[in-house]
Amino acid sequence: MFKALAACFLASILTENYILNRFLGICPFLGVSKKLNTAMGMSSAVTFVMVLATAVTWPIYTYLLLPNKLEYLQTVVFILIIATLVQLVETILKKYIPSLYNSLGIYLPLITTNCAVLGVTMLVIEKGSIDPSFGYINSLVNAFGAGIGFLVAMAIFAGVRQRLEKCNIPKTLQGLPITLIAASLVAVSFLGFQGLIDGLLA
Amino acid sequence: MSNKLTYQITKGIIKENPVLRLVLGTCPTLAITTAASNAIGMGVAATIVLICSNAVISMLRKFIPDKVRIPAYITIIAGFVSIVQMLVKAFAPELNSTLGIYLPLIVVNCIILGRAEMFASKNKVLPSVLDGLGMGIGFTAALLCMSIIRELFGNGTIFSIPILSNFIDPILIFILPPGGFFVFGILVAIANKLSDNKDNSQKNSCAGCPRGKSCSIVSDKEGTCNV
Amino acid sequence: MKKFDSTEILKPTLTLFIICLIVTFLLAFTNVFTKDAILNQELKSQESSQRIVLPGAVSFLESEQDGIKFYTGFDKNNKKIGYVFSNEDKGYGGTINVMTGISVEGQIQGISILSHNETPGLGANITSDKFTEQFKVNAPKNGFSITKGESNKNSEISAITGATISSTAVTNAVNKSIEQFYNLIGKGI
pLDDT value for B222: 42
| CA C16/CA A164 separation, integer angstroms | 46
pLDDT tens, position by position, A140-150: 999 999 999 99
pLDDT value for C106: 86
Query: A202 in a domain, yes or no?
Result: no
pLDDT value for B200: 47
Are the Cβ atoms of B27 and A26 closer than 8 angstroms? yes
Dihedral, CA atoms, B207, B209, B213, B214, nearest 10 degrees? -160
CA-derived radius of gyration, chain C:
25
Q: What is the DSSP string of chain C?
A: -PPP-HHHHHHHHHHHHHHHHHHHHHHHHHHHHHHHHHHHHHHHHHHHHHHHHSTT--EEEEEEETTEEEEEEE-TT--EEEEEEEEEEE-SSSEEEEEEEEETTSBEEEEEEEE--PPTTTGGGGGSHHHHGGG-SB--TT--EEESS---STTEEEPPTT-HHHHHHHHHHHHHHHHHHHHHHHTT-
Nearest to A115 among B71, B105, B182 (CB): B105
Three-state SS for A46?
helix
CA C126 to chain B, closest CA, distance in angstroms equals 16
Name B68's bridge partners: none
Chain C contact present for A76, CB below 8 A: yes
- For residue B203, name the pLDDT band (cuts at 50, 70, 90): very low
Q: What is the DSSP string of B81-110?
A: HHHHHHHHHHH-HHHHHHHGGGTGGGGG-H
User: Is A143 within 8 Å of B160 (Cβ atoms)?
Assistant: no
- For residue B133, name the pLDDT band (cuts at 50, 70, 90): very high
Kindly report the average pLDDT of chain B as a whole number.
81
pLDDT surpassing 70 at residue A24: yes
Nearest to C93 among A15, A73, A130 (CB): A15
Tally the domains of chain A.
1
Are the Cβ atoms of B90 and C34 closer than 8 angstroms? yes
Are the Cβ atoms of A23 and B177 closer than 8 angstroms? yes
- For residue B223, name the pLDDT band (cuts at 50, 70, 90): very low
> Which chains have at least 3 CB atom pairs separated by less than 8 Å from chain C?
A, B
pLDDT tens, position by position, A81-128: 998 888 888 888 888 888 878 777 777 777 877 888 999 998 888 888
Nearest residue to C118 (alpha-carbon basis) of A191, A149, A130: A191
Number of H helices, E strands in chain B: 10, 2
Are the Cβ atoms of A113 and B210 closer than 8 angstroms? yes
Are the Cβ atoms of B154 and C121 closer than 8 angstroms? yes
pLDDT surpassing 90 at residue A191: no
pLDDT value for B202: 47
Greater model confidence, B145 or B169: B145
| CA A36/CA A40 separation, integer angstroms | 6
| CA A16/CA A193 separation, integer angstroms | 10
Eight-class DSSP state of B158: E
Between A34-43, A72-81, A188-197, C38-47, the lowest mean confidence (pLDDT) is in A188-197
Nearest to A76 among C27, C95, C115 (CB): C27
- For residue C189, name the pLDDT band (cuts at 50, 70, 90): low
> Which chains have at least 3 CB atom pairs separated by less than 8 Å from chain B?
A, C
Percent of chain B with pLDDT over 90: 28
Query: A157 in a domain, yes or no?
Result: yes
pLDDT tens, position by position, C102-143: 988 888 888 988 888 777 767 788 888 888 888 888 888 888
Nearest residue to B115 (alpha-carbon basis) of B147, B100, B99, B137: B137
| CA A32/CA A157 separation, integer angstroms | 10
Query: A135 in a domain, yes or no?
Result: yes
User: Which string of b and e fits A53-78 if b means at least 16 CB within 10 Å?
Assistant: bbebbbeebeeebeeeebebbbbbbb
Domain boundaries, chain B: 3-208
pLDDT value for B182: 93
Chain B: residue nearest A123 by CA? B101
pLDDT surpassing 80 at residue C92: no
Greater model confidence, A144 or C152: A144
The ipTM estimated for the assembled molecules is 0.85
User: Which string of b and e fits A29-45 if b means at least 16 CB within 10 Å?
Assistant: bbbbbbeeebbbbbbbb
Question: Cα–Cα distances in Å, from A155 out to A14, A144, A176, B178, B221?
Answer: 14, 16, 18, 18, 19
Dihedral, CA atoms, C9, C12, C14, C18, nearest 10 degrees? -170
User: Which string of b and e fits B40-66 if b means at least 16 CB within 10 Å?
Assistant: bbbbbbbbbbbbbbbbbbbebbeebee
pLDDT tens, position by position, B50-70: 999 999 999 988 888 887 888
| CA B189/CA C35 separation, integer angstroms | 46
pLDDT tens, position by position, A41-87: 888 888 989 999 999 999 999 998 888 888 888 889 999 899 888 88
Size of interface B-C (CB pairs under 8 A): 63
User: Is C94 within 8 Å of C117 (Cβ atoms)?
Assistant: yes
User: Is C172 within 8 Å of C100 (Cβ atoms)?
Assistant: no
Are the Cβ atoms of B93 and C45 closer than 8 angstroms? yes
Query: A29 in a domain, yes or no?
Result: yes
Chain C: residue nearest B61 by CA? C15
User: Is C108 within 8 Å of C100 (Cβ atoms)?
Assistant: yes
Chain B contact present for C21, CB below 8 A: no
* Residue B157 host element (H or E): strand B157-158
CA A66 to chain C, closest CA, distance in angstroms equals 14
pLDDT tens, position by position, B106-131: 888 888 888 888 888 888 999 999 99
Are the Cβ atoms of A72 and C93 closer than 8 angstroms? no
Q: How far is CA B220 from the centre of its chain?
A: 27
Are the Cβ atoms of B218 and A80 closer than 8 angstroms? no
Are the Cβ atoms of C27 and B76 closer than 8 angstroms? no
| CA B78/CA A85 separation, integer angstroms | 17
Are the Cβ atoms of A194 and C92 closer than 8 angstroms? yes
CA-derived radius of gyration, chain B:
18
Interface of A with C in 114-153 (CB under 8 A): 130-131
Amino acid at A20: L
Task: Collect all residues of chain A within an 8 Å Cβ-Cβ radius of residue C115.
Answer: 130
Task: Collect all residues of chain C within an 8 Å Cβ-Cβ radius of residue A131.
Answer: 95
